[in-house]
Each structure stands twice: as structure tokens, then as C-alpha cells.
Amino acid sequence: MRDQGCATRSESDAFGPIEVADSALWGAQTQRSIQNFPIGGAAARMPLPVVRAFGVVKKCAAQYNVDAGRLEPRLGQAIVQAADELIAGALDEHFPLVTNMNVNEVLSNRAIQLLGGVVGSKSPVHPNDHSSNDSFPAAMSIAAATELERSLLPSLEALRAALTAKAAEFASIVKIGRTHTQDATPLTLGQEFGGYAQQIAYGASRVRAALPRLQELALGGTAVGTGLNTVEGYGEEIAARIASETGLPFAPNKFEALAAHDAMVEASGALNVLACSLNKIANDESSLCLQTSRARSSIMPGKVNPTQCEALTMVMGNHVAITVGGAQGHFELNVFKPLMISNLLSSTRLLADSCRCFTKSCVAGIEPNRARIRQLMESSLMLVTALNPHIGYDKASQVAKKAHAEGTTLIEAGGPAGLGFFTPEQFAQWVVPEQMVGPAPKK
């Protein structure tokens, strides 16, 4: 049945004829999948980095087969040109599914166009004859490694550098520390930001550590890892070609990369650690970032919301689905591939984008209110901790409790007018916030 108002062409697959929109470069198998699996809508489509990765796989495979004498040069060149267009994003509209056959049909039809043939004719480039069965796991690896290497890691490095710069800038600002949401002993604002920078550095190192396994390709394993219908050395050669094409060190791993996706779970785990770190940093910095936020309350005049910080706290969650996906599948094939790569790329994109925004719109513009920081630090009753070595813990506790109960200062509560534990001169000598931000020097 032809769609009203939409010109179609008739194509066929193993199940018989089916109508495909004339404007579409996909074919019968993709069209049948669209009709059989109307699940999730456009929002559930596979991320475009997988499309780009498929283009790399098909391009390198075509070049290999031409060099090996298994594919006519004119057909190979047409496939390579179509793959280059796919990699560049020129064919994005033709991927409603992003399956292996969706890619094969689009590339074959585009190659047929380039050769002056009729779209849908499957001649002279056939979507199945010029296909490989282990492409999707390879595309997963390429897409994930590429996005981590070229998108997430640079954004993390920029954030780490910005936090490190602020740590140096704020090295002399002494503030009151906080634990259990209450005042604690002093530290410098620089020390606080140095801790944030270290969290990001560690998170980035975890991502880098996950890359080598993620760069192991299933190509050459075909159905179950044995390499049936390939020739000896194909897996190694195609991995080398993909490494050359992408600039990333891909290598073959036929059996494990087909049957399991532990590398995906490991990479997701690294992203989860990073997401936890960013959540902590965002919550800690939310009050500082108010000064750089442009988000105003829509109902409360003058209220500014820490939206850049809030964006960093909304990334965790994908890891649970990836963990479940990694544990599934049976024997030589894990079939949860679409779930895993979709969620991994989602986490990668969210983390990369939110880190870039956070660096630009929050960290880079932070200017601490030094007078207010000093006021809060000097009025904190937790400065009493500096008295411990001089009057003992019990007396220091009495001073703090008295000051808190009466709403006075430590010197008023513990000095001559209060408990009489010290003189004003002793208090000034013993309680020096700048000396409380590190260990005492050795004598």
C-alpha cells in the first residue's frame, strides 16, 4: 500500500515486496524493521556517532577488499565515496534505525547513484553481497573511543586547567571549612579548588585507562569470532586500516568483543566515577557559581539559580542500564549492543557538554567575596579547635558551648570576662586562621 502524498518505489527482501519512499536511500530490510518495530520514536534512534563509525568500518573494508582483489575498483571507489559522505554527515536523514543493514542499504544505494544506476535495484552494489556480519560491535568501539578521546577528554582537561588556575589564584584566601553541613576548621579556597582539580584529573585518568580495551575490534570474527568467510590476516589488517583512518590505536579482539562488552561496562564505570565527582563539585560550588549564573527565577524577583551546577548533577543513571546490558546475552553474542552504546554515548555527550559549559559559564568567572568569606571565617566558633593544644579539649568545648548559647564570640566566652581560660593576647597568639590551614612546622 502506497503512502498518500508520498512517492514510493517497490523493493523486496526475503519476506517479499515492500514500499519504500522514493526519497529514502534505505531499502527493504530497513523499511520492514521500521514497520515491525515502531518503538521509541525519533528520541530512541541510535546516536549519530555510531553512523560515523559505521562509515569508517565500511570505508576501510571496501579499501581492503579492493586491494585484496575481492572487489572491483570502480565499485569500491563508489562505496568509499558514499562512506566519506556518511562520515561527513551528509546522509544523516537516511538513518531511522542505524543498524548494520540500514548502513549497508544506504551505502549501496548511494554508491549506485554515484555509478549512475537506479536506487533500489541492488545493482551493481548489493547491500548484502558487500556486507560484513561483525560491523555493529566494531562501530560501537569506534564511536565510543572516538567520542571519549575527542570530545570528553578535552573538555575534562579544560575544566581541570580552569580549576587549577583558580586554586593558584585563591591560594591566600582563608575560609572556614565545612563538614556535616556545619562549620569546621579553616582551609584556603585554593586548597578547596585544588581538591576539585584532582578529582577531575583522576576521573580523566580513569577514562584514559578504559580506552585500550574499548579500542579492541570484533571485525574479522564475523558470526561467532572464528573468522568464517574471511581470509587469514583480515582482522589485523582491517584494524590497522581503521587505526590509520581514525588516528586511534585500534586492534583486533574477535571472540570477546563479540560475546561480551565488558569494555563498555568498564568505560561506563569510569564515566560513573566522573559523574559522581562532578556531582560533588557542583553541589560544593553552587553558592560560588551564583555570581556567574544568568538563570533568574521566573517567579521570585532577584533570585539567581545555580543552573550550571545543576546541569552537572543530572548525568548518573545510564550506568545502571549499561551494567545490566553487559551481563546479558547468551554464549557467543551479546545482543544488548544498542542499549549499551546508546547509553554510553549519551553519558559521554552529557558529561562533555556540561563540563564545557561549567568551565566557561561558572569556573572561569568565579570571583569570591573576600570580605564576606573573612567575616564568616572570623565569626566561626570552630576556630576554637586551635585552643585544644593550649587549654585542652574539655575547656575548649566549654568555651564553644558558652559562646554558642550566649551568642558571643570565643574571646568573650573564654577570656577574662567569661571563663577566664586565656588572655586576649594569648587568644590572638593561639588562634590564627592562616596558621590553621596546614600542619605546624617541625621544631
pLDDT at position 131 is 57
* Residue-wise pLDDT tens digits, 21-51: 999 999 999 999 999 989 888 888 889 999 9
Q: Sorting pLDDT into bands at 50, 70 and 90, what band is 133?
A: low
Q: What number of residues does the chain have?
A: 443
* Contact call for residues 220 and 238 (beta carbons, < 8 A): yes
151-157 mean pLDDT: 98
For 128-132, 159-163, 225-229, 430-434, which range has the lowest pLDDT when averaged over its residues? 128-132
SS3 content of the chain, % helix, strand, coil (to 5): 60, 5, 30
What residues are annotated to the active site? 180, 297
Confidence check: pLDDT of 396 > 50: yes
Provide the 10 A C-beta neighbour count for residue 410: 26
The top-level CATH class assigned to 381-431 is mainly alpha
Q: What is the pLDDT of residues 165-199, one digit of tens each?
A: 999 999 999 999 999 989 999 999 999 999 999 99
Q: What gap in Å lies between CA 177 and CA 105, rounded to an integer?
A: 61
Per-residue pLDDT at 2 exceeds 80: no
Place 3 in a pLDDT band, splitting at 50, 70 and 90: very low
Per mean pLDDT, which range of 91-100, 299-308, 398-407, 432-441 is the poorest?
299-308
Residue 98 is predicted with a pLDDT of 81
376 Cβ neighbours under 8 A, 6+ residues apart:
175, 176
In the chain, % of residues over pLDDT 90: 76
Query: Cis peptide before 338, with omega less than 30 degrees from 0?
Result: no
Residue 443: pLDDT band (50, 70, 90) is confident
State how far the Cα of 261 lies from the Cα of 216, in Å rounded to an integer: 11
Dump pLDDT digits (tens) for 373-383: 999 999 999 99
The more confidently predicted of residues 98 and 413 is 413
Decide which of 3.40.50.720, 1.20.200.10, 3.10.20.600, 1.20.120.1760 is the CATH code for 134-227+247-370. 1.20.200.10
The rounded percent of the chain whose pLDDT value lies above 70 is: 96
Contact between residue 36 and residue 28 where contact means Cβ atoms under 8 Å apart: no
Average pLDDT across the chain, whole number: 92
Instruction: For residue 130, name the pLDDT band (cuts at 50, 70, 90).
Output: low
Give the separation between CA 18 and CA 125, rounded to whole angstroms: 20
Per-residue pLDDT of 281-334, as tens digits, reads: 988 887 776 655 566 677 888 777 787 888 888 778 899 999 999 999 888 888
How many helices (H) and strands (E) are present in the chain, helices listed first?
18, 6
pTM of the model: 0.91
Q: What pLDDT digit, counting tens, does each position of 212-264 carry?
A: 999 999 998 888 889 888 889 999 999 999 999 999 999 999 888 888 899 99
Cα–Cα dist 419/399, whole Å? 7
What is the pLDDT at residue 290? 61
Query: What confidence score (pLDDT) does residue 292 get?
Result: 58
Domain spans of the chain, in order of start: 8-115, 134-227+247-370, 381-431
Pick the CATH number of 8-115 from 1.20.960.40, 1.10.275.10, 2.60.40.10, 3.40.50.620: 1.10.275.10
Q: Count CA within 13 A, CB hemisphere, residue 419.
A: 20
